[in-house]
Structure 1
Amino acid sequence: MRRGTKLSCLPDRELLARFEKLCVEQYDALDRQEYAAFNRRYDRIQAIEDELKSRPGDQRRILMTLFGHPNMQVRLTAAHATLAVDYLAARREIQEIADSKWGPQCGDAGMTLINLDNGIYRPT
Structure 2
Amino acid sequence: MTIGSTRQASVQELVERFVSIGLAQYEALYVADTRKFNQLYREMEDVRNELKRREGDQRRALLPLLDHPNLQVRMKAANSVLAISPQLARKALESVRDSGILPQSADAEGMLDAVQNGAFVPS
The answer to whether TM tops 0.5 is yes
C-alpha distance in 1, partners of 2:2/2:88? 32
What amino acid sits opposite 1:65 in the alignment?
P
Aligned to 1:43: 42
| Count of paired positions | 123
SS in 2 for 1:67: helix
The alpha-carbon deviation at position 3 of structure 1 amounts to 3.5
Alignment-derived partner of residue 116 in structure 1: 115
Deviation sequence 1:77-100 (CA, Å, 0-9, x none): 000000011011101100111111
Q: 1:89 — aligned with what?
A: 88
Q: Find the counterpart in structure 2 of residue 67 from structure 1.
A: 66
Q: Kindly provide the amino acid, as one letter, of the partner of residue 33 in structure 2.
A: E
Moved over 3 A (4+): 2-5
Task: Give the whole-Å Cα distance in 2 for the aligned partners of 1:68 and 1:35.
Answer: 26
**RMSD (CA atoms):** 1.1
How far apart, CA to CA, are the structure 2 residues paired with 1:27 and 1:121? 23
Unaligned 5+ segments in structure 1 are: none
Q: Distance in 1 between matches of 2:24 and 2:39?
A: 10
For the residues of structure 2 that align with 1:37 and 1:22, how far apart are their CA atoms? 11
Task: Work out whether 1:105 is the aligned partner of 2:104.
Answer: yes
What percent identity do the matched residue pairs reach? 36
